[in-house]
Amino acid sequence: MRPAYLRKGSSHRETMTNYYKVQSSFYDSTRWTFLYGRRRIVEQLNISPGQTVVEIGCGTGSNFSSIQKGLENTGRLIGIDCSAPMLRKAEERAKHKGWTNVQLLDMEYGKEPVTRGRADVVLFSYSLSMIEDWRSAVACAHSELRPGGTAGVLDFSKTANNSAWFTKWLAMNHVLADRPHQEELHRLFKRRTYLKYEAWAGLWSFYLFVGTRRGE
């Protein structure tokens, strides 16, 4: 694997880098306790060998194994994150597994597509709620996809039954669960799957969305 880091400095990028400087060392061993549905969202994407998959906010690459089940180490798997410590973990994972189709980009996503509209799949897995300019990121993901390409989003959502404490805890960890992501996703993409879930008796909620870019 040959990593390709694109370094674009910003205050938000620095915040994420500093936040995950320590978190990256134990991220994978703790996040399974509340980041539910990650395997299911990848399964819903129906990834095939030879495709180009872009994961935005890939973190340590914890979804890569599930994605590679579809790609079979072919095509392209582009992981994007604005935290260098997390990307180093993703790089270690790819090297350990012997994956040769992985490219890692250190950047804030949302200004322009990285594949110039050639991606088959774009994935946000608990990352959209952490992206500062999330509307630009969703619009960019739409442009990233070829007509008929698939967008998948898995993230927190906020309902009246959710714990106020947990919502505040998420915000302290740079996660904003009350943004209208779902409205924008339904506007831009043709819905294929849309599911809502509650976890721990309603302590928090999350949603799974899969849609396609309409043919043009």
What's the CATH architecture for 11-212? 3-Layer(aba) Sandwich (3.40)
Nearest to 11 by CA among 108, 109, 129: 108
- Is residue 108 within 8 A of residue 5, CB to CB? The reply is no
Angle at CA 122, nearest 5°, toward 119 and 128?
145
How far does the chain reach from its first CA to its final CA, in angstroms?
35
Percent of the chain with pLDDT over 90: 62
Nearest to 153 by CA among 184, 111, 176: 184
Domain boundaries, the chain: 11-212
What digits encode the pLDDT tens for the residues 165-174?
777 777 777 7
What digits encode the pLDDT tens for the residues 88-113?
999 999 999 999 999 999 999 999 99
Rounded distance, CA 178 to CA 33, Å? 21
What pLDDT is attached to residue 29? 44
Using 50, 70 and 90 to split pLDDT, how confident is the model at 78?
very high
SS3 10: coil
Q: What is the mean pLDDT of residues 128-155?
A: 96
Dig out the tokens for 135 from the structure: 């509307």
Do β-strands 190-199 and 145-157 pair in parallel, antiparallel, or remain unpaired? unpaired
What pLDDT is attached to residue 2? 34
- Is residue 124 within 8 A of residue 93, CB to CB? The reply is no
- Is residue 135 within 8 A of residue 74, CB to CB? The reply is no
Rounded distance, CA 93 to CA 81, Å? 15
pLDDT over 60 (residue 34): no
Determine which helix (DSSP H) or strand (DSSP E) holds 125, and give its type and residue range: strand 119-125
CA 60 to the chain's CA centroid: 11
Rounded distance, CA 206 to CA 36, Å? 8
